[in-house]
């Protein structure tokens, strides 16, 4: 379970920014969602007290498993990068043409 949870945290923090960059538009994403991804990277991989270190401190300490925290640095970088990409993209349209509805979050 630990491997899959950590893997999903890596995907959650890295993939959305890459998809935004490829798509080139904001639809399907929001500023708050990108802020949430940054928070996920900080909370999930916090070297002083994260969920895994609380459960298995011998295995998830900084000295015992430095690769886990190297992954944290990468995830945090990509989460921040995704936020920056989002901010550089053109604003969402007021009404989505396909549905005729307003976007939920800008």
How does DSSP assign 65-79, residue by residue?
-HHHHHHHHHHHHHH
pTM summary value: 0.83
Burial of 54 (0-12, 13-18, 19+ CB in 10 A): exposed
Half-sphere exposure of 42 (CA within 13 A, CB side): 7
Going residue by residue through the chain, which has 106 residues, state the pLDDT in tens, using 9 for 90 and above.
Answer: 666 778 888 999 999 999 999 999 888 888 999 999 999 998 888 877 777 777 887 887 788 888 888 988 999 999 999 999 999 998 877 777 777 777 766 6
């Amino acid at each position: 379970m630990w491997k899959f949870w950590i893997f999903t945290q890596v995907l959650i923090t890295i993939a959305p920014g890459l998809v935004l960059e490829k798509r080139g538009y904001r639809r399907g994403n929001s500023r708050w969602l990108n802020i949430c991804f940054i928070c996920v990277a900080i909370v999930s991989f916090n070297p002083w007290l994260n969920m895994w270190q609380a459960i298995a401190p011998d295995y998830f300490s900084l000295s015992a498993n430095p690769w886990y925290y190297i992954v944290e640095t990468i995830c945090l970088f990509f989460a921040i990068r995704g936020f920056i990409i989002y901010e550089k993209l053109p604003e969402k349209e007021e009404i989505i043409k396909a549905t005729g509805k307003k976007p939920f979050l800008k």
